[in-house]
Structure 1
């Protein structure tokens, strides 16, 4: 009986320690989540450049697309969640390709057909995608509902939504119709280059982390922190929607 009681105390202590670590890391992440709230914003200098130029400018738009993706913290957080428990390059390639397909489709069609969504709402939905993926990684849906959602379908759907987030911002900057299609395609190429660069950095860090004994001990905490970032983004965007 004494031995069982001691095990219970140890289990409670471990759970509390894990919760404290999760909340501590969440607080440390607060500066990042504030930056995340502006993840889809385009720098003022880039905005002015986009509005002023006309004609085909492929390389500048490739650069702008890559810059947006590399500095798009919400995209990177979602990608991190997607590949968190993927070990084989084949599987990583499938999921990243699905995300890229969705992202590219709605970005290009959204701008070309002038289909925009309120930026606060779409960014809040993108924040929800981060929360969703973190919960999925934690096995929450199986525990709560007894079902496992189709991860590939979810990645594609959220890719569509991430693309609408980008197209909404581009529409706001009123790109010249002269050279619109080539420039958009170049921008999309840049976005995919930026995604590959971000993915490469994530994979390098993850590969080293997975070799350590701490990976599975802290995987729970890492996903709680990621989920916290998503909730902060949702709250920020919803507040901005009401205030605006």
Structure 2
């Protein structure tokens, strides 16, 4: 019991000290450019998490700070000359979790128009701006991906959509970056490595996870299923709590105690949801509590839980797959290339997670050979407690935004 108490205190300490963390989504922003001859209107929509990068840690910058930052880095140009900004900059109402800024530019002519966005690349090199360009005179519409390597794009009648011309390898790279920039996905994969004592066990759990997220990624992007994004973010965090808790339960051999604590906490959250508190539905929380209790009890009583975890990680993969799909849904992929781009993105996700798993596994094996690794019980206790604390923090903050 003393060991269980120490681990719970450590997890709660990590939860209390955790700062805001990036969700599974990529660093991104959205721009809508409306061209009326030589006059151009721009509406920038930016997630709050991106805006907060511009202020001191733990604070949200003022609109004036954000406006000055954007005005210096986002603009159209005509004939090689930057178009002047026509004040004032307006701040229209935005959906919760976003900020919106409306700019007006007066170009000297409508010839040789280009748009440039350099915002956030100095803070997050992997940032992507999804630009929509509408020419009111001709009715032409184009979508463009603005990245660090392509910060300026040409605007012309009948311009081809960047999504239509994006290469297969670009979507492979985007899938890989989704893993490398998604802290919650990387945390979950760390939990899979911790729980796997043998290479065969690791193959089982990664296979189940891959099958699950590949299935729901395809279903979501093709429109068969459209989940609530706010629910998925919280459930992704819950999977991190569960994989960390299973590691703890296996180490201390008290799955019933861990199952009771987590299952009971979710049941209390369900009661609070029935009372109108929080964003998650009460039935979803109640079902999560029942699943959590059953899962931890079963995994703690199986002599060889490797095969059982294939099914569990498949369920977890279904949840993460919807998270992977969120970016692709926002991009409005061209239907004629949907299958190709979906395969490319999914391959990138697989390459990314395989690289991460192999890197962590290789590091552990190397440290063992050099006899620099801490005993497995200590390593698992610390890492699993960290995952539980971090996952709880994310789950609570995403359930009660």
Q: TM-score range by the shorter chain?
A: 0.7 to 0.9
Q: Looking at secondary structure, tell me which structure has more helix per residue.
A: 1
* Deviations 1:1-57, CA, capped at 9 Å, x for gaps: xxxxxxxxxx96x887666655555566x24xx224x22234335242457421562
Higher relative contact order (CA 8 A, sep 6+): 1
What is aligned with 1:161?
319
C-alpha contact 1:56 1:182 (8 A) present in aligned 2 = no
Q: CA RMSD, aligned part only? A: 2.8
Match of 1:93 in 2: 203
Paired with 1:27 and 1:235, the residues of 2 have a C-alpha distance of 11
Q: After alignment, is 123-132 or 93-102 more displaced?
A: 93-102
What is the match of residue 169 of structure 2?
59
Counterparts in 2 of 1:155-194, with a 5 A limit? Answer: 155-194=313-352
Q: TM-score, normalised by structure 2?
A: 0.50
Q: Could you say what secondary structure the match of 1:116 adopts?
A: coil
C-alpha change, 1:203 and 1:138, in structure 2 (3 Å) is: same
| Structure 1 stretch displaced more, 56-65 or 142-151 | 142-151
The unaligned stretches of length 5 or more in structure 1 are 1-10
1:39 aligns to 2:153 (yes or no): no
* Structure of greater Rg: 2
Of Structure 1 and Structure 2, the greater strand share is in 2
Distance in 1 separating the partners of 2:354 and 2:376? 23
Alignment match, 1:5:
none
Shift of 1:189: 0.7
Equivalent positions of 1:2-81 (< 5 A) are 22=11, 25-26=14-15, 30-31=18-19, 34-36=20-22, 38-44=23-29, 45-48=127-130, 49-50=144-145, 52-55=162-165, 57-81=167-191
Q: Determine if contact 1:116/1:167 at 8 Å carries over to the other structure.
A: no
What runs of 5+ residues in structure 2 fail to find an aligned partner? 30-126, 131-143, 146-160, 260-292, 300-307
Give yes or no for the alignment of 1:148 onto 2:309.
no
Matched, 1:115 2:101: no
Q: CA deviation at 1:90?
A: 2.3
Cα deviation, residue 142, structure 1: 4.2
Cα pair 1:82 1:133 within 8 Å, conserved:
yes
- Distance in 2, matches of 1:203 and 1:99, equals 17
Work out whether residues 42 and 68 of structure 1, in 8 Å CA contact, stay in contact via their aligned partners in 2: no
For 1:77 and 1:136, locate their aligned partners in 2 and report how far apart those are by CA, in whole Å: 14
The corresponding residue for 2:242 is 132
